[in-house]
């Protein structure tokens, strides 16, 4: 791992054509994210943050501009090449978890390994998955199905799945959107721990108090970056949880 730039977007545009209409979702965004950063990408709906997230996640290709991920240009790659990039370099965490139903936590976490080209045996898959599950605090729940887990636990499984291939960057799309405030703070706590370990995280959110757990906030409006600043009064998840516990005891 180098300590340089993980993500470099240069004048990226994305235009959708729906019949006669042209929608300019992203109108020339340039952005650099260094290794070890924790960025919150913010903006109202329609600001282009989801489109930018899809481009960052190699789910979509920019109409114009360059995207360099981990020192290689990915803007011109085809479907299969993008799939391999997603497999090797990106970990996704979604708002609605997107875990496979009726499938154990362990098998959910193994999923990216199955599509990798590493040729691991079932025992190796299992060992890796269990280790990552333990690192997000789910030891002993490896055989539970999503329906047997709480929302917060399901999101931890999803985070474990995102981490299994040691990605260059973890992309989280509204990771706390379906969670209550206490669980949201817990999930932010996990992200902060991961970030302490040096993992690069980009998180889309529209909630100011969730964005405050990141180190850097990027605000978008109308397909452009409105402002980009580091967080001055950063929330610490452990402290916030303690505060929350105290306030519930008092009331």
Partner 1 sequence: MRVGSTFNIAFRALRRNKLRSVLTALGIIIGVAAVIAMVGIGNGAKAQVEAQIASLGQNIILVFSGSTTSSGIRTGWGGAGTLKIEDAEAIRREVSGVTAVSEEVVSTTQVAAGNQNWFTRIYGESADYLDIRQWPLADGAPFTPQDVRSANKVCVIGRTTATQIYGNDDPIGQVLRVKNVPFTITGVLTPKGLSAQGVDQDDIVIMPYTSAMKRVAGGTTLRNINVQVGDANQMNAAQKQIIDLLRQRHNIRPGRDDDFTVRSQQEIADAATATTNVMTGLLGAIAGVSLVVGGIGIMNIMLVSVTERTREIGTRMAVGAHGRDILTQFLIEAISLSSVGGVLGIIIGIAAAKTIAITRHWPALISPGSIVIAFLVSAAVGIFFGFYPARKAAALDPIEALRYE
| Residue numbers at the binding site for partner 1 (CB under 8 A) | 54, 57, 59-60, 79-80, 83-84, 86-88, 92, 94, 98-103, 107, 111-112, 114-117, 119, 122, 161, 165
Whichever of 7 and 162 has its CB closer to partner 1, that residue is 162
End-to-end CA distance of the chain: 48
Are residues 202 and 162 in contact, defined by beta-carbon separation less than 8 angstroms? no
Whichever of 20 and 80 has its CB closer to partner 1, that residue is 80
Are residues 221 and 45 in contact, defined by beta-carbon separation less than 8 angstroms? no
Least spacing, CB of residue 54 vs partner 1, in Å: 6
Whichever of 86 and 216 has its CB closer to partner 1, that residue is 86
Whichever of 161 and 216 has its CB closer to partner 1, that residue is 161
How far apart (Å, rounded) are the C-alpha atoms in residues 179 and 155? Answer: 9
Whichever of 120 and 134 has its CB closer to partner 1, that residue is 120
Least spacing, CB of residue 25 vs partner 1, in Å: 12
List of residues 6+ apart from 35 with CB closer than 8 A: 1, 2, 3, 4, 5, 6, 168, 198, 200
Least spacing, CB of residue 217 vs partner 1, in Å: 25
Cα dihedral 210, 216, 221, 223 in deg (nearest 10): -120
Least spacing, CB of residue 95 vs partner 1, in Å: 10
Beta partners for residue 91, in sequence order: 170
**C-alpha gyration radius of the chain:** 18
Least spacing, CB of residue 80 vs partner 1, in Å: 5
List % helix, strand, coil for the chain (3-state, nearest 5).
35, 25, 35
Whichever of 77 and 241 has its CB closer to partner 1, that residue is 77
Cα atoms in the 13 Å half-sphere on the side-chain side of 156: 28
Least spacing, CB of residue 85 vs partner 1, in Å: 8
């Amino acid at each position: 791992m180098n300590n340089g730039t993980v993500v470099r977007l240069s004048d990226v545009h994305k235009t959708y054509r729906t019949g006669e209409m042209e929608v300019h979702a992203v109108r020339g965004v340039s952005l650099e994210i260094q290794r070890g950063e924790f960025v919150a990408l913010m903006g109202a709906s329609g600001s282009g943050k989801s489109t930018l997230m899809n481009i960052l996640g190699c789910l979509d290709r920019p109409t114009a501009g360059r995207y360099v991920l981990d020192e290689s240009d990915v803007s011109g790659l085809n479907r299969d090449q993008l799939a391999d990039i997603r497999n090797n370099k990106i970990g996704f965490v979604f708002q609605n978890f997107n875990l496979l139903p009726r499938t154990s936590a362990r098998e959910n976490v193994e999923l990216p390994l199955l599509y990798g080209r590493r040729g691991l045996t079932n025992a190796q898959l299992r060992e890796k998955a269990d280790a990552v599950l333990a690192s997000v605090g789910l030891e002993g729940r490896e055989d539970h199905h999503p329906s047997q887990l709480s929302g917060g636990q399901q999101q931890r499984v999803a985070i474990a799945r995102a981490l299994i291939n040691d990605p260059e960057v973890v992309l989280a799309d509204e990771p706390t959107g379906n969670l209550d405030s206490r669980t949201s703070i817990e999930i932010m706590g996990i992200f902060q721990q991961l970030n302490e370990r040096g993992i690069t995280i980009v998180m889309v959110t529209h909630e100011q108090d969730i964005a405050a757990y990141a180190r850097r906030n990027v605000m978008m409006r109308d397909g452009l970056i409105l402002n980009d600043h580091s967080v001055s009064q950063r929330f610490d998840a452990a402290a916030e949880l303690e505060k929350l516990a105290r306030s519930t005891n008092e009331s």
